[in-house]
Structure 1
């Protein structure tokens, strides 16, 4: 039995259209399933939690939506050993699908799920904000500062809706990023890697902690990220002027930014971030809150994927 969790509004209604295609195929093949349409923010978390609660047998969850919907679902899973997760992308950026080579075509993605013979396990990250008692899991990335401000604006952006309408939704974050660059003020940051190594950076624009290589609609922030090595792949861009940030952005799509001055990429199992002023934070493109003290860590091979 497959349990489908669908965000019908992902990519301006594309999620429901994808579900209609998938449902037809399931019915044709007489495959047993249940389906659940999300109706509000974090509804997918509640659905996943209810489906998994008290279950000891294998549970097959399939997400239809964007990276944010997957994020909600993994935050509702408690018994990871029993849960097998499939993903049919229907969002604007679909960076998890891009990183895992999941087909954009919904029927091909469904066939990948139905024909899965092995269930590879992937890491996920956990972030704790000092001013909050709860933690958030993430499967793609966690960013603080500039990229989080882009995600925050994109949540209810007319630009995003328009681009989705003309099938160019993956450009949303790049275009909003150019707009944000005009007003964004970089911050000084102190990092503590693996509880002992201290790094300090001035005027930080981008600080992304990656599980997968891609975020932001195809930005290859961490080209060498391995989602099965129990490490966060961190990309930090700092102490450069806005014109140089503009020149650097195209290289992010190609994963060639490591050659630029004032760009550092490194790995760690845990990361502590301290700033003077509270900054925006996102997980998998979803706004989490503001904080000036954040702790992140990587959990090894928790997510069983239907691939």
Structure 2
């Protein structure tokens, strides 16, 4: 009998069926599967529940939510043989889209039953894992504003984005070391991505692959408002590299050092969740194919 645990973010998936043991029983035969459903109650709780499920010898642990919920669950499964299942009922769903996991519940559950697995790379920044992306500067500010809004949906993300434009100012300088080179920036934002999509079908790293042993780094230097609007237009048509402030590289390791900050904390976002650390030096690396995921 296969033991499958579902860790559900109850805030995600408004308008979709509630994922309960009763709901799942129509898909998973009792003779073949032992189903356990757990609901997270606060930020960080999904990670606690996933660690508990590992101790309980679950063969598959399914994250039901968005990229943030997936991050908490998947962080416990790195370097293990336990497979991660994904039911994408969140807002952005960047990792699920990159893995071609359908947004349709029936089809997503069918992938879990099919039991086909792939091994994907894992990003790491200091002690934190990321599976889609991490971002600094304006991207972290946008996520910070997004988390203050009541509901996680695209219109609120757009609202947070627009609110962040006039309020974001930074004089910090960043030294980026990768591929044997060193370069200084005063960036508008830095994006380090393991996937080819941010979420909501938006991509700044179309060349990124989940299993190539590399992440893609995009850095945009400080822009005036008019140049920012122009850059947004270029992103929409996929020609953002035409602006001289655009920097792009692909690497397996990088170091980012921040200069000029009086704050003790360095803010960033990881897989759509706002975080910070007490270090001005971020060590980034790719862990090659260290996570097993159920995928088409």
Match of 1:300 in 2: 288
CA displacement at 1:216 relative to structure 2: 5.0
CA displacement at 1:170 relative to structure 2: 2.6
The answer as to whether partners of 2:77 and 2:291 remain within 8 angstroms in 1 is no
Match of 2:177 in 1: 192
Per-residue CA deviation, residues 134-193 of structure 1 (Å, 9 max, x unaligned), is x111100011111011111211314xx2xx5xxxx2343333112101111133211011
Question: Which residue among 127, 136, 140 is the counterpart of 1:144?
Answer: 136
Q: What is the TM-score with the length of structure 1 in the denominator?
A: 0.85
The answer as to whether partners of 1:47 and 1:76 remain within 8 angstroms in 2 is no
Distance 1:36-1:199 versus aligned 2 partners, 3 A rule: same
Per-residue CA deviation, residues 190-209 of structure 1 (Å, 9 max, x unaligned), is 10115x3211123x111010
The 2-side partners of 1:229 and 1:96 are apart by 15
The 1-side partners of 2:232 and 2:201 are apart by 11
Question: Which residue among 207, 211, 223 is the counterpart of 2:206?
Answer: 223
The 2-side partners of 1:239 and 1:88 are apart by 38
Match of 1:153 in 2: 145
Q: List aligned pairs for 1:171-250, cutoff 5 A.
A: 171-186=155-170, 187-194=172-179, 196-202=180-186, 204-215=187-198, 217-250=200-233
Match of 2:68 in 1: 68
Q: Secondary structure at the match of 2:84?
A: strand
The 1-side partners of 2:78 and 2:98 are apart by 24
The answer as to whether partners of 1:235 and 1:263 remain within 8 angstroms in 2 is yes
Distance 1:38-1:254 versus aligned 2 partners, 3 A rule: farther
The 2-side partners of 1:14 and 1:201 are apart by 44
The answer as to whether partners of 1:219 and 1:254 remain within 8 angstroms in 2 is no
> Is residue 283 of structure 1 aligned with residue 270 of structure 2?
yes
Q: Secondary structure at the match of 1:220?
A: coil
The answer as to whether partners of 2:117 and 2:294 remain within 8 angstroms in 1 is yes
Q: What is the TM-score with the length of structure 2 in the denominator?
A: 0.88
The answer as to whether partners of 1:208 and 1:235 remain within 8 angstroms in 2 is yes
Distance 1:28-1:236 versus aligned 2 partners, 3 A rule: closer
Structure 1 segments unaligned to the other structure (5+ residues): 129-134
The answer as to whether partners of 1:121 and 1:302 remain within 8 angstroms in 2 is yes
Q: Which of 223-232 and 185-194 deviates more?
A: 185-194
Match of 1:84 in 2: 83
Tell me which protein shows more helix as a share of its residues: 1
The 1-side partners of 2:85 and 2:142 are apart by 28
Q: List aligned pairs for 1:162-177, cutoff 5 A.
A: 169-177=153-161
Distance 1:175-1:47 versus aligned 2 partners, 3 A rule: same
Q: Which of 215-224 and 230-239 deviates more?
A: 215-224
CA displacement at 1:18 relative to structure 2: 4.6
* Equivalent residues, number: 284
Structure 2 segments unaligned to the other structure (5+ residues): none
Q: List aligned pairs for 1:12-23, cutoff 5 A.
A: 13=14, 17-19=17-19, 23=22
